[in-house]
Structure 1
């Protein structure tokens, strides 16, 4: 076909804007040398996964540490598969877990940034302008094949033991004349626009992946679809246009996209765009019995970012844990820099996991306990209250009822020497602190767990005698001195070393006596410091619970 401009006008008469005009509206970004422009470009077909959060954090960190830009682009061209509320969930999850967005959609339905629209469904005119240009340059063509005809081609290829697809001699509409195109249009046949691939199956491409290193792959020779019959672009074409116009320099994505690299590199070449650098991330893995496997959105309730929000993992804890998965030397850096924010650590793509990092829930809990242990009581109260308003009505009611009392509870054990580490997430709080509240204690605690060395009769004697000694104005040393004297009076060793030296001589040791008091006051044998706990509870509450047990 000789008159390509006539063909382009025939197919897209409504497109009058030129690519140069669009490019002028999206000038190169003014950024310092070396600054990276990265993005999170999800399809709104589901909720943000933990793997998506992990990959997005890498993109955001790479932009931040280079003085660049991180933006969000919604690839919503497949309206049939779109899940209502997924965009809002993604944006809210990113914000909840500390991923700061410079440009993109907002929760209010608007956008921020100068390189939008940031939803592909609002950019169709942009894609069609470039499609029209490719048609004019004889780099694309209309294809009128039906699904049945494509299946027939595939069957013939399989019978001939040739590669399947639409390429070369099998691309039956590649060289249609203008009159043939007019004839097809006149009959009302729908069409797609295909790339006229310059590739050959005999050629191979080489590129250096930011994470996986040097990779060699067959060149793309397929005439892939660029624009579907509804006028909406395919992912391959749209992402190339968008990454160019938005100035994307580095793309971090799952390695399921690795096989598409030949197509994407070819598109950037055909379009004469500077391509971004690609880094392909292996998927996060989890243990399933003795073996490792990928997370499954269908099977694993912990596969979505919302799960970690609903459980109340602090944003900082998730970020800290992800950093240990992103770079193998992060934990060493953290030990050397215990008080520095994690954002001071520079991510190195050379030290990213090539085979797939193992997501260990136990380790996340340990990291989270460390993070919460370093918070002040006020910080714990504020963050826990915010979480409880959304996810735990009972806890929210308790915290709001008496903030001073709650702060006193959270303040126990917040010492740098030996901080308490009984909280891994905000959903642990209700069960952890419930015994401080009389309504829970009176309705729940009926059987007091006693240490093995003490029967109920002896426990009642100990509690009765302790009630006579109780004076919460005592300092810690005086208080513990009374407990030791009480232990000795009931046949228990007042010092642990005495018991260890001659255990047969005693009914138990002072720790058993303290355990009786702890159990009577809380219904538990494991709690934070007994003295601090009693100070917070106050004398009236302590006496009431001691008396309840004796009675």
Structure 2
């Protein structure tokens, strides 16, 4: 959701606020806020006001705004739109079970609604713990709910709990009260959040009406699913940003992937309320392909809430790989981008080849260019080009299979001839044109078939069956390393 909020704010020259909703002590996770801020920084999603960026409506931690929520709860109590409930947890549980057995959709019997003012005052003075509930039987009239994504939505109070809790016994607010109060106090004009909050929209609009506040515009976005269609969770799959960081995905590619996963066809906004659950008007424009390369500026320019899909979308890892490859290509097309990628891949190369003298930023830049079009992820450099950082392993099964299909004497003669002519090149002559000329001539006069010639040369130099053009590989390896590898392979006797 951070991405959509960021794009919408930037597209409309607005301000994006990061607010920490930490009013539920049971869900407190040490370091979570720092983790969120680090993830946003990695993604380049810079908020305007929030933790570390105090603005006109600070503080941005809800746990530091408790007096404000209590004052609004008192307003609701004074107007009769809310009441205190002194029921114990055990009684509430018994009541829910009893109502369920009777077939009722209610979750509370409103027992405390009928307490007199004197009873309430006496129990409060005695120090009895209580919660504050919204009085659903005394709600003001208001317009039907309208969502910027789903259009007109059904005013389904039946799906909500009976007289929802607004203030808990610890005097901390629930999300419902805190979000409404903060959105008003902070001047929020648009609330973009997950579809799981759509059933709560009627409740939030009730609170705005009861407090005589103008509600913001709401947009609810369908949730993202795992490839198998299951709901994403922290226990299942890569749903934390740190996972994508550790795997070396480009932030621009991840954002591109996530944005298009929720992009649907653009519809006209509905103009009249209806009684069905969702309505989204006439189709205006089709959705972009989910593998379309889009920079952040492209995403912002084209972002349109009316074009959001109305169905939950699955995240396809293959599409991330495809997009990441294209974002890598765009990045290394500039010197600054190439350096950035090399610096990012350096630690992975050092991890794979700790003794290599070639594990440097400048050399890795050359390897990235060499692997043009082959890299899906910058962390794949060790997998695609280990021979650039260490001597090739010629004992692998594929290389052995190629060598055993060739007469050892013919192979030795071929390598000796190539080595002889390559050795004559000066430092200034060493490069693709000269090497290509030599290999063409050697291939023409070799006894071996052209295909076998190139296979042997590739395996003797890299120990791999495929890779970049062999002349480009030789050019980057350099004269000394190339000559060292162009030596006849010694077959071990059986």
Normalised by the size of structure 1, how large is the TM-score?
A: 0.75
Closer/same/farther in 2, CA of residues 261 and 63 from structure 1, 3 Å limit: same
Instruction: Determine the structure 1 residue equivalent to 2:155.
Output: 217
- Counterparts of 2:212 and 2:349 in 1: how far apart (Å)? 51
Any gaps of 5 or more consecutive residues in structure 1?
A: 1-54, 414-419, 493-507
User: What are the superposed Cα offsets for residues 362-389 of structure 1, whole Å, 9 maximum, x if unpaired?
Assistant: 1110111111112236523423424655
- Counterparts of 1:172 and 1:391 in 2: how far apart (Å)? 68
- Counterparts of 1:387 and 1:543 in 2: how far apart (Å)? 28
- Counterparts of 1:134 and 1:465 in 2: how far apart (Å)? 93
User: What are the superposed Cα offsets for residues 304-345 of structure 1, whole Å, 9 maximum, x if unpaired?
Assistant: 22111110111111122223223346746997x989942453
Matches within 5 A, 1:88-107: 88-106=34-52
Matched, 1:122 2:61: no
Matches within 5 A, 1:356-395: 356-376=312-332, 378-386=336-344, 393-394=351-352
Matched, 1:326 2:223: no
Matches within 5 A, 1:106-117: 106=52, 111-117=53-59
2:134 to 195, 209, 213: 195
Query: How far has the Cα of 1:284 moved from its partner?
Result: 1.3
- Counterparts of 1:173 and 1:537 in 2: how far apart (Å)? 82
- Counterparts of 2:355 and 2:194 in 1: how far apart (Å)? 42
Is the 1:399–1:406 Cα contact (8 Å) retained in structure 2? Answer: no
Deviates more, 1:171-180 or 1:116-125: 171-180
Is the 2:394–2:459 Cα contact (8 Å) retained in structure 1? Answer: no
- Counterparts of 2:291 and 2:93 in 1: how far apart (Å)? 57
Any gaps of 5 or more consecutive residues in structure 2?
A: 265-285
Query: How far has the Cα of 1:266 moved from its partner?
Result: 0.6
- Counterparts of 2:59 and 2:296 in 1: how far apart (Å)? 37
2:303 to 347, 354, 357: 347
Closer/same/farther in 2, CA of residues 401 and 338 from structure 1, 3 Å limit: closer
Matches within 5 A, 1:388-467: 393-394=351-352, 402-412=360-370, 420-438=372-390, 441=391, 444-447=393-396, 448=399, 451=402, 454-455=405-406, 457=408, 458-467=410-419
Matches within 5 A, 1:117-196: 117-166=59-108, 170-196=109-135
Instruction: Determine the structure 2 residue equivalent to 1:295.
Output: 232
Is the 2:131–2:168 Cα contact (8 Å) retained in structure 1? Answer: yes
Is the 2:287–2:307 Cα contact (8 Å) retained in structure 1? Answer: no
Normalised by the size of structure 2, how large is the TM-score?
A: 0.83
Is the 1:204–1:216 Cα contact (8 Å) retained in structure 2? Answer: no
- Counterparts of 1:75 and 1:461 in 2: how far apart (Å)? 74
Question: Aligned pair count?
Answer: 458
> Does the residue aligned with 1:303 lie in a helix, a strand or coil?
coil
Is the 1:197–1:221 Cα contact (8 Å) retained in structure 2? Answer: no
Query: How far has the Cα of 1:546 moved from its partner?
Result: 1.7
